[in-house]
Amino acid sequence: MELLSQTEVFDGWLRRYRHHSEATATDMVFAVFLPPQVMAARVPVLYWLSGLTCTDENFCQKAGAFRLAAQLGLAIVCPDTSPRGLALPGEHDEDDLGSGAGFYVDATEPPWADHYRMYEYVTDELPTLVEMNLPVRADKSICGHSMGGHGALVAALRNPGVYASVSAFSPICHPTEAPWGRKAFSAYLGPDPADWQQYDATLLVASAEERLPILIDQGSKDPFLESQLMPEAFRAACDAVDHPLTLRMHPGYDHSYYFIATFIDDHLRFHAQALGA
């Protein structure tokens, strides 16, 4: 791991690292906030997965999470949203496919399959790297926004016992039926919808081996609410199998980081309680 920068904030430290990833066969950059408690002991970790077009920096600069995270003794790790530094055909042409739009899947189709393996990266390689090299415990939770909310839900539902808690802001809940998801999954996973189901939280919840409580916040004025996000489909799937879900609809709020900043403290406390922070 190469330390790119370090900034002191709320008596803790925001660091950015670069490392070579075996999963993506590229160099990857991630950010990590380390609270002041790391001076005395290892701390639990919250993984934050960002949305379309974002990098590791959006949450760090806009969410306003570090003051409370410092008080709670909670580290926050923010990976990038796709591999970088490639020149694949069409990779940089559209906001919802390729660069900045890895969708947290392991691609199986050319030209993506050799590098776009973000599911393996965020659920396996990155946590292993972080736990080996930074003063953190193995205890971890996961959260995300939009495409990253989709990634957080899928990671938790597919990996029972790994995460202490899971939450999301405005997640893409049913990507196999959403235009963003169908476009990305067709490109990354091929034309057969049966191959997409392993990355759809609404389809996964029925067979989830663990009934981990889920917290979702959604704004009522989100322009993507009906066409892309589909939280009511996810609620129905959870209700059908009695999976614990708290879905909070917030009148007047949209899809932006203003929305995230308004309610991020609730999510940090939710995860800190589950992690014993």
Annotated catalytic sites, by residue? 146, 222, 255
Residues facing residue 76 across a β-bridge? 33, 46
3-state DSSP assignment of residue 90: coil
3-state DSSP assignment of residue 67: helix
Which parts of 107-146 fold into alpha helices (H)? 118-120, 126-133
User: Burial of 87 by CB count in 10 Å (0-12 exposed, 13-18 middle, 19+ buried)?
Assistant: exposed
Sheet strand arrangement including 214-219: 2-9, 12-21, 26-34, 75-79, 43-49, 136-145, 166-169, 214-219, 245-250
Q: Tokens standing for 100?
A: 């900045």
DSSP conformation letters of 209-241: SS---EEEEEETT-TTIIIII-HHHHHHHHHHH
3-state DSSP assignment of residue 212: coil
- Chain position carrying tokens 């415990």: 137
